[in-house]
Chains A and B, each alone.
Chain A
C-alpha cells in the first residue's frame, strides 16, 4: 500500500544535540512538507520541497534543515539552534500543480528534549 512512513515515532534529545527525523513516501508525489504541531497552535510549515534538490523555507524554518536528494525521501534535522524543539512533527506529501493538492500525512514523530 502506498503511504508515508515517518521514523522514529518517539525521540528524546538532550540539549545541544542535533537529531534527524526520517520521512519516506512511495506515492510518487512530487511535493513534500514538514509541519510542526504544538498544543493549541495548529500546524506550522517548517520546510517544503517541490522537486528533488530544491526546497523552500516555510514559516518557522529557523533551527531546522532539510535535504531532498531523492523524490521519495525528505529528512528533517532539528539542530541545536532550535530553542524549543519539543513538539509533534508531521511529514506530508502531495501532487504538485493545478488541481486539488490534498496532503497525505505520515503518522508523526514526537520529539522531546530532556
Chain B
C-alpha cells in the first residue's frame, strides 16, 4: 500500500527565513506533485516532478525529487507572508490513478 508522509505537518516561520518541507513515499514512483491550498479554498498545482533529479523553481519555492531515496523536498527561500498556506505532496505510486496525497504541511509565515 502506497503511503506518503510529509513533515513537518505544522511549520511556523519568520519572514526572511529559509526552510524545507519533506515528502517521503513508500513505493516506487516516477512522478511527484506539489499543490498549494489557501484556507477555505481549493488546491492549485505548484510543481510536477517527472524524473529522478528533477528540480523546479518558481519564485521563492523550489522542489526537487530523488526517486532512489523516495524523497521530494519543497524548499522555501526568504519566506514572505503570502506563502502562508497548506502544501500537499502527491505521489503516483507507479500507477495512474492511485494518486495518494500526503496529509499536508500548514505553513504560517509571521512578520
Contacts and interface: CB of A to CB of B under 8 A. Distances in A.
A103 B103 contact: no
A43 B97 contact: no
Contacts of A100: 31, 48, 50
Given A100-B48, A108-B42, A42 B104 contact: yes
Contacts of A52: none
B25 interface: no
A97 interface: yes
Contacts of A101: 31, 92, 96, 99
B97 A103 contact: no
Nearest to B44: A105
B42 A45 contact: no
Nearest to A88: B40
8 contacts: A40-B103, A42-B102, A42-B103, A43-B88, A101-B96, A103-B35, A103-B90, A108-B41
A61 interface: no
Contacts of A40: 9, 103
A108 B39 CA distance: 12
Contacts of B96: 96-97, 101
A56 B98 CA distance: 11
B45 interface: yes
B88 A42 contact: yes
A37 to B, nearest CB: 9
Contacts of B44: 105
Contact of B45 (A45, A96, A102, A108): A102
Contacts of A31: 97
A110 B49 CA distance: 31
Contacts of A35: 101
B99 A45 contact: yes
Contact of A56 (B88, B92, B97): B97
A106 interface: yes
A5 B41 CA distance: 13
Q: Which of A33, A41, A100, A106 has the most CB of B within 10 A?
A: A100
